[in-house]
Structure 1
Amino acid sequence: MSRNKSWNELSVVSRWRIAVMGITQLTLQFVALRDLVKRPAAEVRGAKSAWAAASFINFLGPVAYLVFGRMRRVK
């Protein structure tokens, strides 16, 4: 069984991929949590606290909230 590579053993391309994926994850989570804080509870499907906890699940949580957790605002 091979061991995991350390950061210094990764190629430059691999390091960039990891950095981009990390930044994307943090951005999605920031957007989801910011929307949760600003959106009234009546416009959220389910409990806001549950969606906030779900936002910590990599990619899936924030995307699920942004797609399924919000109700469209009627203007």
Structure 2
Amino acid sequence: MVKKSRKNAKKKSWKELSPMAKFGTVTAAVVQLSLLVAAQRDISRRPAEQIRGSKAMWRMATLVNFIGPGSYFTFGVIRRPAGS
């Protein structure tokens, strides 16, 4: 049995993808864009004192697929206790 190496494997075009693969791709893109928009909007509206680091740095970081916005909401936002 001969294994196909990843180098020789032909990439599928959009037309060759199954309906589930197309749905998954579109869903991932929508989630990624939604996170990007939410993070960028939050950076614009939140005072700089409530963000760890510079706003410009976080704007650039949020452009990295899912990792950027996730990192911003996890590590970049300074959360205050509800009573404060």
What is the TM-score with the length of structure 2 in the denominator?
Answer: 0.85
Asked if 1:66 corresponds to 2:36, the answer is no
Asked if 1:7 corresponds to 2:19, the answer is no
1:12-51 paired onto structure 2 within 5 Å: 12-51=19-58
CA RMSD of aligned residues (A): 1.0
- How far the C-alpha of 1:72 sits from its partner, in A, is 1.4
**Higher helix proportion (structure 1 or 2):** 1
Q: Following the alignment from structure 1 to structure 2, what is the Cα–Cα distance between the partners of residues 73 and 21? A: 31
Asked if 1:56 corresponds to 2:56, the answer is no
Change (3 A) 1:24 1:61: same
Tell me the matched-pair count. 75
Runs of 4+ aligned structure 1 residues displaced above 2 Å come to none
Per-residue CA deviation, residues 4-30 of structure 1 (Å, 9 max, x unaligned), is: 000000000000000000000000001
Q: Which has more radius of gyration?
A: 2
Q: Following the alignment from structure 2 to structure 1, what is the Cα–Cα distance between the partners of residues 29 and 38? A: 14
Query: Looking at both structures, which has the greater relative contact order when contacts are Cα pairs under 8 Å and sequence separation is at least 6?
Result: 1
| Amino acid corresponding to residue 38 of structure 2 in structure 1 | V
Aligned to 2:3: none
